[in-house]
Structure 1
Amino acid sequence: MSAEPILFSDARHGDENAAWWRDAVVYQVYLRSFADGNGDGIGDFAGLRSRLGYLKSLGVDAVWVTPHYPSGGADGGYDVIDYKAVDPVYGDVEDVRGLVEDAHGLGLKVLLDIVPNHTSDQHAWFQRALADPDSPEAARYHFLPPGEEPPNNWQSMFGGPAWSRTPDGRWYLHLFTPQQPDLNWDNPEVAEDFDDTLRFWYDLGVDGFRVDVAYGLFKDAEYRDNPGVYSPTLFGHGPEQVMTTNQPRIHEIWRRWRAVGDSYADGRMLVGEVSLADLKQVGLYARPDELQHAFQFRLLKSKWDAPAFADTIAEALAVFESVGAPAPWVLGNHDKARQVTRYGSLRRARAAALLMLALPGSAYLYAGEELGLPEAEVPDAAKQDPIFFRSGGKRAGRDGCRVPMPWDDHDALAGFSAAGSAEPWLPIPDGWRDHAVNRQAADPSSTLSLYRQAISMRSLYPALGSGLGAVSRIGDVVRIDLVARSGDPDPVTCWINMSSSTAFVPARRVLLASDRAGVRERDGIVELPADTAIWVTPNPVDLR
């Protein structure tokens, strides 16, 4: 990329300028690991409700809760038995209502997770389909006649074939575990049932959903072979899965879901998991009558590399601007090793966070990244992720980013559960309490304090988050120039030095640094150490 900035126009249109989700900071809670309210070693709604004050103090706008439904337990809650209920281990429907009321009282929105691509094999539909091949329920899944070989070469994303056999010899499709049979979205009864599910939770006051596998749902109607087998690529799922993902008909569903949300007076929002290699295809999911947000995961899947970061940011801003949508940004989630470990240091993770929180659009944080948590070492005997087991131990799985949250360094259970409670569902590593919230809250140089300052500044400087961006790069130093669309006179520039040596950049005043040590200002030039990001402005700081 040249040193010349690439400019992007404002993608906001009409009455949606004021929509909260356009530049929101959303905090993802892995419910099982956030806070245990009843002492059974498993996080729950009571625990989450008790910690909402923490989220308010962090400054986020919304909380996204991972699946809470009754589940078969094959894939961390993403194998759903009943979409209109709560797994008793987490509470009940009234606890969700209470969460919504408590959160709204603090000015926080609530997003739930919804899983439309597949159900649990214990779902009433699938159980009926097993019992009667001619039942209406059987037509809601992908069943094919008995045969010696699987119907085609489709592969599970967790490893192995995507087809399993029923006791009577039929084949059924599961793009994840065999306990997660894929729904047949060509059957209108499936779409109608999910309309009812959306309204059930919306009527309870829920503000929106994160949609699992939003690029999936429809499959090739002729069940033709994929041109290749599943192989994770750097940025997402590519042409080797052309028959099982990103079918054109999928957009009909998101228009339908958008209409359901828009039928509520205050509207509802949808953010889709769109793991596709082609960013232009991702952008199509965020057209004005479809999802409000479509996750693109290039930053999350990129190594510490200045060209990759700069090119991704530039392309993503251009793609989402072209469809009139804000860009959602994410560096971590419940499916990916934590940033500190991926990037090789806490210093780099802090710098990346400051970059992300400056970018135009919304920022999605994963619980614990604001504490600088590394990927936890989970003993094989304690692992629960199906990826580990289905790969025969060749893939570590995702347990390491799902270890319970450390709240208190005075407690053996790190404050996740009350003293004397059952052991946590995943073991808490030695030294985990060193990252605890109470310890970091008292340290102005901690990672938690950095996140709090950065999020607070997004409200003070309209150029941050809700502004317009221009991306440029000089060697391994990336520059993001940001200006407010409202004409606010305080532009902000984010510099991130991804090289191995100190850089010298033009700046008048440093607002915030990912690591203040070594950042020196002199005569309009700032020394920017390696693996450091700063926000700067040419104007005096006015904390009105």
Structure 2
Amino acid sequence: MSGSYNIEPLAYKPSSSAGYPDEKNQHQVRSPDDIDVKLSDNNTATSVAPFRGMGKEELLQHSSKPFWRRLRMICISIILLGWLALIITVVALVLIYPKCKSPDSRTWWQNEVVYRIYVRSFKDSDGNGVGDLDGVTSKLDYIKDLGVGVISLSPSYEDDGSDGDFHLMNHMKIDDAVGGDQALNRLITQAHEKGLKIILDFIPTHTSDQSDWFRWSQEAKYRNDSYRNVYVWTDTPTNWKSMYGGSAWNESSVRTGEHYLHQFLHNQPDLNVRSPQVKEKLNEILVYWLNKSVDGFYIRNSAYMFEDYDLRDEPKLQYADGDDYGDYDHKYTKNLPEIYDMFARWRTTMDEHMNRVLMADPDPTSSVKDMVKYYGHFQRDGVQLPIRKRSFPSNCGGKCIGKYVSDWMNNLPSGRWPTWLFGDETTERFASNHNESFIRSFAMLTMLLPGTPVLYYGDEINMMDLATLTPSSNTSRLQPMRGLMQWDDTPNGGFTNSSMPWLPLGADHQTNNVKNQSAKGDSLLSFFKNLTTLRKEDTFRIGEYYPAAVDDNVFSFVREFDGKKGYLVAINFASVPQKRDYTKFHSTIQSTASFDLTTGGSESFDSDIDVDTSDLTLGPMQGVVVSWDFVAKEL
């Protein structure tokens, strides 16, 4: 065909060697220049060899041209940018996407409710009218059934017989009045068999003036005597005041002209915790009880462990015109930063013994930002559970409760765990200034928020302060919030067989007691058991927390955990009904939810009827818990 090319095959020329190609030229490769191409008369091309592409030199010559160089750089840049974008996307997804949590990722002191017991008032086992450790042991089944898992004991160490809890003679011996060391051993053994933990008070601030340590310190004649500086001594007293009135300095009857420090009572001299010997002794006390299988310690009066090294006078408050404790700024005797170093030292000791806990009582007048330093300071771990006192008025509403919660939650350091104190032996009982509806609402709040609740014995049956006693201005044991536990309606309330218990019984013990409340399905005692049961759900143990509707009357929040139920806890703290559309306050709240628990009240809920959270009415001082199936949204 005219205009086409015909490629003629290369002619075969047999070699002269037996019909085989010449061995010398057998592997010779022709270059493009060796290919003969000719055109026939009809313009058909003929070739003597196939075209095999550009040679190396020509290829390098073309590839080095600017166009090809730019094209290669563009392609390489696209590939590198693509990889970088992929890496950034993966990292962002890891950081943003909700982290998976194991249902067992909490420790025992996070999962359990702490039950605080004032030992002398809980149960008398030997008929002498005073509660003791064997009495606590006899009620372990009751404590277990209540749903709590940790028992915190009031000071039980050997004392000097004074009418107080902190007149310590020996930090490493249990007082015979509450059963002695063997009684504690029995309590620890049987508590552990039932899955309960035992926490002891730890008092590092002072001792009794009758203790061997103080006697040896007074008798030390030379400055190199080992016990001379175990306490705080000076021959030039400052203007420091005792918390209970008068000067914080008392002149020694032995060391003439010298005075010892006592921030509390005059017969409670302050230990010099700056002394290396005291630090060593205090650590020995911890190790001693840890080796006895104690599960943790509650550090008492922790804000007062250190005082100014130079013993400087404290400044008066600007508008103070008196000379009492409250007229001074206690910047040199309270909340000194050295306490955080001691917490870190003791935390190291606890960690060496595995799975133990430290609690402490920050000064209640301190700001929340100062309190949270107890968790750790300067990248060093401190105590796991600072116990913050509850502090709100009797008419506290939704916004007031919201501030109480948010002050703690919003200032909580990352990875730390809050606490919610219901009561203790130094705080007026709830029932003395709040009605039962408020108490139920507050219990629902503290039990279902993230954190560890601390319940005071008797609060579960609404015990009140003893009307026959008033809070004293000293450390006397005779305090109104330490009334005898009301077990039944017998003359002594089931507390003792003695006709002379050490404190009087509450006036309502015949009608308000454990026996009577156990028989009622709607009692406060039953409500507490329902709360401790609900608290064991994975959502409440490890789920996320989100505030929902919070206003002058209502406080509510959501707890959710992927693959488990989502919960709305809504509480009306007002004296009139409140209606809200709760679906507006958090995106995962379902409009149709199941009823789980209520505090009681005028609005009734039925477990067989769905709850409409978009039109939910709560009665006066009423709380409710509702739930729905929750699955986290994919990004």
Measured against the shorter chain, the TM-score band is: 0.7 to 0.9
Q: Relative contact order: is structure 1 or structure 2 higher (C-alpha 8 Å, sep ≥ 6)?
A: 1
Code of the residue aligned with 2:529 in structure 1: it is R
Provide the rounded CA distance (Å) in 2 between the counterparts of 1:202 and 1:11.
Answer: 35
Provide the rounded CA distance (Å) in 2 between the counterparts of 1:161 and 1:11.
Answer: 56
Determine if contact 1:347/1:532 at 8 Å carries over to the other structure: yes
Determine if contact 2:400/2:552 at 8 Å carries over to the other structure: no
- The equivalent of 2:528 in structure 1 is 451
Q: For 1:70, what is the secondary structure of its paired residue? A: strand
| TM-aligned CA deviation for residue 201 of structure 1 | 0.7
Q: For 1:534, what is the secondary structure of its paired residue? A: strand
Query: What are the residue-to-residue correspondences of 1:255-274 with 2, within 5 Å?
Result: 255-264=344-353, 266-274=354-362
Q: Give the percent of matched residue pairs that are identical in Structure 1 and Structure 2.
A: 27
The match for 2:239 among 130, 144, 153 is: 153
- The equivalent of 1:537 in structure 2 is 627
- The equivalent of 2:565 in structure 1 is 490
Provide the rounded CA distance (Å) in 1 between the counterparts of 2:118 and 2:574.
Answer: 34
Find out whether 1:355 has 2:478 as its counterpart: no
Q: For 2:185, what is the secondary structure of its paired residue? A: helix
- The equivalent of 1:475 in structure 2 is 552
Determine if contact 1:520/1:527 at 8 Å carries over to the other structure: no
68-77 or 17-26, which deviates more: 68-77
285-294 or 202-211, which deviates more: 285-294
Label 1:158 to 1:517 Cα distance change in 2 as closer, same or farther (>3 A): farther
- The equivalent of 1:289 in structure 2 is 381
Label 1:370 to 1:10 Cα distance change in 2 as closer, same or farther (>3 A): farther
Determine if contact 2:106/2:541 at 8 Å carries over to the other structure: no
| TM-aligned CA deviation for residue 13 of structure 1 | 10
1:479-532 CA-to-partner distances (Å, cap 9, x unmatched) read 122223xx2431222222222211123473332122244345764433312222
Aligned length: 503
| TM-aligned CA deviation for residue 44 of structure 1 | 0.4
- The equivalent of 2:594 in structure 1 is 509
- The equivalent of 2:505 in structure 1 is 428
Query: What are the residue-to-residue correspondences of 1:20-419 with 2, within 5 Å?
Result: 20-74=108-162, 76-132=164-220, 134=222, 135-145=225-235, 151-167=237-253, 168-228=256-316, 240-264=329-353, 266-276=354-364, 277-287=366-376, 289-297=381-389, 299-306=390-397, 307-320=399-412, 322-343=413-434, 345-379=435-469, 385=472, 387=474, 399-409=479-489, 411-418=490-497
Q: For 1:499, what is the secondary structure of its paired residue? A: coil
Determine if contact 1:476/1:498 at 8 Å carries over to the other structure: yes
Code of the residue aligned with 1:83 in structure 2: it is H
Provide the rounded CA distance (Å) in 2 between the counterparts of 1:399 and 1:387.
Answer: 10
CA RMSD in angstroms comes to 2.8
Provide the rounded CA distance (Å) in 1 between the counterparts of 2:100 and 2:203.
Answer: 29
Determine if contact 1:29/1:64 at 8 Å carries over to the other structure: yes
Determine if contact 1:495/1:535 at 8 Å carries over to the other structure: yes
TM-score using structure 1 length: 0.86
| TM-aligned CA deviation for residue 144 of structure 1 | 1.3
| TM-aligned CA deviation for residue 180 of structure 1 | 1.4
Determine if contact 1:511/1:535 at 8 Å carries over to the other structure: yes
Label 1:318 to 1:51 Cα distance change in 2 as closer, same or farther (>3 A): same
238-247 or 474-483, which deviates more: 238-247
Gaps of 5+ in 1: 1-8, 232-236, 390-396
TM-score using structure 2 length: 0.74
Label 1:491 to 1:35 Cα distance change in 2 as closer, same or farther (>3 A): same
Provide the rounded CA distance (Å) in 1 between the counterparts of 2:102 and 2:539.
Answer: 20
Label 1:296 to 1:228 Cα distance change in 2 as closer, same or farther (>3 A): farther
CA radius of gyration, larger in: 2
489-498 or 254-263, which deviates more: 489-498
Q: For 1:377, what is the secondary structure of its paired residue? A: coil
Determine if contact 1:12/1:325 at 8 Å carries over to the other structure: no
Determine if contact 2:469/2:480 at 8 Å carries over to the other structure: no
